[in-house]
A and B are shown apart, each in its own frame.
Chain A
């Protein structure tokens, strides 16, 4: 069982987002970086799969040199290998991102490293294109399931489940396949000290893909306008019971 997890370095945003002066990016002076919450679950799932079924795990990202931090974070959790598709810091749109990943996976295949399962997050926390996994699957002619919150493996097949408004739906995929996952799939572990120290010493393989125009071009970022808002203070501690009941009644909840 060989699993590839694709992740993205994103800022760990705070209570409010501040933009850079040119409105091209989030001001990250005070922010750390992480990977999207969905992807944390993808990494955890990959590690668990290998713990249960044996095999190998690889983490891949497209991003600047600093994204090696996130690759090492994943390795600290138990991923064995890391590939950085090194970008020049520019934002790559979904088409460009997917094709760089596809080329990397094909190059892996040519080098004799094929993957039974390629995991993505359902969407990245920042640009949220909702399509990279699907594009990669299509280009590699692999079956693809998105938004998955449970994966079971048996006999070269994966049974996946996703949540709907009214319950769950499930599908069976023959491997190899692409699965994009959502938070809730598992509760990711924290890195151990030995894991962290081991990851620090590991090699990160680097590929420099060619940037391309994928057809979705960021012009600028802007913050949504917050509507003026007033709040009615109903009381303090235990003295607000009756006022609250009145609100419940007004909203016809009682």
Chain B
């Protein structure tokens, strides 16, 4: 029995007809794709995935810009479809710490342009008459919040795509295999036959890992339970026309929410113990009482949430005539870092993941990925959610389980921007690890690497530098931070420091056409003498910044690329995707082969000279060059560059010889009073004083080289990806310019000195948002202390009117506005503006 027959071939097969799959099918059709086939093993309109039981409400503000932009775009689309009901929503605080967090959420709202306000308990009561305002301290109210009918919205999108003739829908059709040939998707096997296709999009929610596995790829997510009950009939809601009349409440401190749904009130929780499921253990449709993602409710896990809900909503939930009419353990997708999994999988060409997505962001994400698939250039930069971000160890079941379990209760949590994961640590350690531990290093994690952020053994330096370390006395600002960072910074500037840089991702690009290839990939001229080190950006075709890294030319057709650990896997995919098919250029990942120490400071040369026979004088070893030198019995590759603005070298050694190098430098450094220096200096204080840009902070696809101040005076004659767009950008006045600001006075009303951390809104002195001609608001891209300049340093993209040195502005932080001044427009450093130190 079959209503529609399975096509033999498709341009693209989308697997999973929840909100994500329907949105994908729609947007692909919108962007001109034909022969789209949408498959689901379930029945329509509700095939049994997470969409079918979603609570369907949309809160707008997230601290993440990317996620907020996806959400705002989704709301716009839901409104166009006529399936959005605006209700408003209030996040309430029961604790003082939460009230502070709500102020922080206000700041994020301002940064991303969302209308919201902080309200008193009485005002909350005015909005939500059934709340017990006596147990709350206040609320964060967002009028634009609402609910959607995601099943209807998805159906409308699917039907529009079908009506356009671009889409064939196959319900009750199960995918049983994805055939890969030569690393590319070639066919999808289903229980109703095979489809030939070059592109597969997995939009299968909690089942995505299984489908990816069929193709030999990984989609690292875990199905997890979110408990939800529905109570009713609520007498107060009896006359509600439609779905919702009263604002949705998020009871942040108890990880719960209460939302009207017609005559019922839905109570959901993220407070219970993490209940993870294996994708293989999820029941089939037939085996499920309700649906595969609506599992039997485990009451005991919810009891505490019931008590919390009863405290907050006693009028409704305490009414004995109001019954628990529906209760489920709903499955949703969690990822190791809490972000979605978007993009082509690095393992298989043509296999795309659009997974771990919530109702609130689905259509926006679908539009983004459809653009990505079509032109390669999505309007919203999805880099944070790029599935290529993961290293292999992060795709293991052990890692996924550990991090999703740890992350679950942070759903409504107050998550500090520098907060570290506790589970599954010590996966990647450098050869210096034991020595660092002996020095009481405080380790932060990047890409699985344990990196010292500072060394507690350096606390003696605190006495040396006194108030110059810019101590932080407000607990939040001092959390996951130490004044030792600033002391290490000053010691490095005064003498010399050594930094463990082993988390760098290192790729060798070699082969007969390596130079041509590198020319095509990089903005900067690659045809430089062997032994030169090049700092360059990589662009997408629209001139958005795709990567930012250094390249050492080791031979005529041999380049070594060094990029940040956090960006390594994304960058590797970008390079790999562009390798010629004929094998004339190869990429070899040497990340695990080379350990790196940075040695920087005025005494760096003296130190290095004392342990090598090589000439490391300024004449013998110029800035921006690299070469192999012998340090004792170790042959190391030394590269004279700096991300902290000091004289010095990055020294690369074979991994197993790392400890020997460490000891040599450490010992030779003693006369110079060398300090081990953590990433707190490398990534923040040293970098900010030099106004160096960081990928993911200042550099992203949404901004271009002109705006970021990275445009060079000359454009090389050779072609490179994004050149055309780049030339156009150069010919126009920039919409914004990246500027460096300093805070004039960081004293709060309560007398504490406060220290921003990034992502705060940058406002006019009157507190008004600054918006550029593309509608982008100004916000702090990076923030930190500049101990050598004695100021809090911020970076921000500012519209032309404000991008002038001396302009007075304000930065909002925890509900207060701090006066700030534009110190530098463009890339000129605050500290050592002539770069005399690095070139000395």
Are A and B in direct contact (Cβ within 8 Å)? Answer: yes
- In the complex, whether B297 has a CB less than 8 A from a CB of chain A is yes
Measured between beta carbons, the chain B residues less than 8 angstroms from A194 are: 310, 317-318, 320
- In the complex, whether A162 has a CB less than 8 A from a CB of chain B is no
Measured between beta carbons, the chain B residues less than 8 angstroms from A191 are: 323-324
- In the complex, whether A21 has a CB less than 8 A from a CB of chain B is no
**Docked complex Cα distance between A233 and B3 (Å):** 8
**Docked complex Cα distance between A200 and B306 (Å):** 11
Measured between beta carbons, the chain A residues less than 8 angstroms from B3 are: 233, 236
Q: Is B287 in contact with A30, judged by CB distance below 8 angstroms?
A: yes
**Docked complex Cα distance between A239 and B309 (Å):** 50
Q: Is B296 in contact with A12, judged by CB distance below 8 angstroms?
A: yes
Question: How many of A's residues come within 8 Å of B, CB to CB?
Answer: 27
Residues of B whose CB lies within 8 Å of any CB of A are 1, 3, 231, 281, 283, 285-289, 295-297, 299, 303, 306-307, 309-310, 317-325
**Docked complex Cα distance between A31 and B288 (Å):** 7
> Could you say which of A18, A32, A196, A236 contacts B296, with CB atoms under 8 Å apart?
A32
Measured between beta carbons, the chain B residues less than 8 angstroms from A30 are: 283, 287-289, 295-296
Measured between beta carbons, the chain B residues less than 8 angstroms from A254 are: none
Q: Is B322 in contact with A193, judged by CB distance below 8 angstroms?
A: yes
Measured between beta carbons, the chain B residues less than 8 angstroms from A31 are: 289, 296
**Docked complex Cα distance between A190 and B317 (Å):** 13
**Docked complex Cα distance between A231 and B3 (Å):** 12
Among A212-248, those with CB < 8 Å from B are 230-231, 233, 236
Q: Is A192 in contact with B289, judged by CB distance below 8 angstroms?
A: no
Distance in Å from the Cβ of B780 to the closest Cβ of chain A?
44
Q: Is B324 in contact with A231, judged by CB distance below 8 angstroms?
A: no
Measured between beta carbons, the chain B residues less than 8 angstroms from A18 are: 287
- In the complex, whether A14 has a CB less than 8 A from a CB of chain B is yes
**Docked complex Cα distance between A197 and B324 (Å):** 12
- In the complex, whether A80 has a CB less than 8 A from a CB of chain B is no
Q: Is A69 in contact with B299, judged by CB distance below 8 angstroms?
A: yes
> Could you say which of B288, B307, B321 contacts A14, with CB atoms under 8 Å apart?
B288
Measured between beta carbons, the chain B residues less than 8 angstroms from A236 are: 3
Q: List 29 A-B contacts (CB under 8 A).
A: A12-B289, A12-B296, A14-B286, A14-B287, A16-B286, A18-B287, A27-B287, A29-B283, A30-B296, A31-B296, A32-B289, A32-B296, A32-B297, A69-B299, A190-B325, A191-B324, A192-B231, A192-B321, A192-B323, A193-B231, A193-B324, A194-B310, A194-B317, A194-B318, A196-B324, A197-B303, A197-B306, A200-B303, A233-B3
**Docked complex Cα distance between A13 and B283 (Å):** 13
Q: Which residue of B lies closest to A190 (CB)?
A: B323
**Docked complex Cα distance between A183 and B319 (Å):** 26
- In the complex, whether A195 has a CB less than 8 A from a CB of chain B is yes
Measured between beta carbons, the chain A residues less than 8 angstroms from B309 are: 193
Q: Is B320 in contact with A15, judged by CB distance below 8 angstroms?
A: no
Q: Is B324 in contact with A190, judged by CB distance below 8 angstroms?
A: yes
Measured between beta carbons, the chain A residues less than 8 angstroms from B288 are: 14-15, 30
Contacts beyond the supplied A15-B288, A190-B231: 19 A-B pairs with Cβ under 8 Å: A12-B289, A13-B289, A14-B289, A16-B286, A27-B287, A29-B281, A30-B296, A31-B296, A32-B289, A191-B324, A193-B306, A194-B318, A194-B320, A196-B303, A196-B324, A197-B303, A197-B307, A231-B1, A233-B3
Which of B287, B288, B325 gathers most chain A CB within 10 Å? B287
- In the complex, whether A189 has a CB less than 8 A from a CB of chain B is yes
Measured between beta carbons, the chain B residues less than 8 angstroms from A233 are: 1, 3
Distance in Å from the Cβ of A42 to the closest Cβ of chain B?
18
**Docked complex Cα distance between A178 and B318 (Å):** 35
Which 7 pairs across A and B sit closest by C-beta, in order of nearness?
A: A190-B323, A32-B296, A30-B283, A16-B286, A14-B289, A193-B317, A192-B320
Measured between beta carbons, the chain A residues less than 8 angstroms from B310 are: 193-194, 197
Against B, the Cβ 8 Å flags (1 = close, 0 = not) of A193-209 are 11111001000000000
Q: Is A192 in contact with B324, judged by CB distance below 8 angstroms?
A: yes
**Docked complex Cα distance between A196 and B324 (Å):** 9
Q: Which residue of B lies closest to A16 (CB)?
A: B286
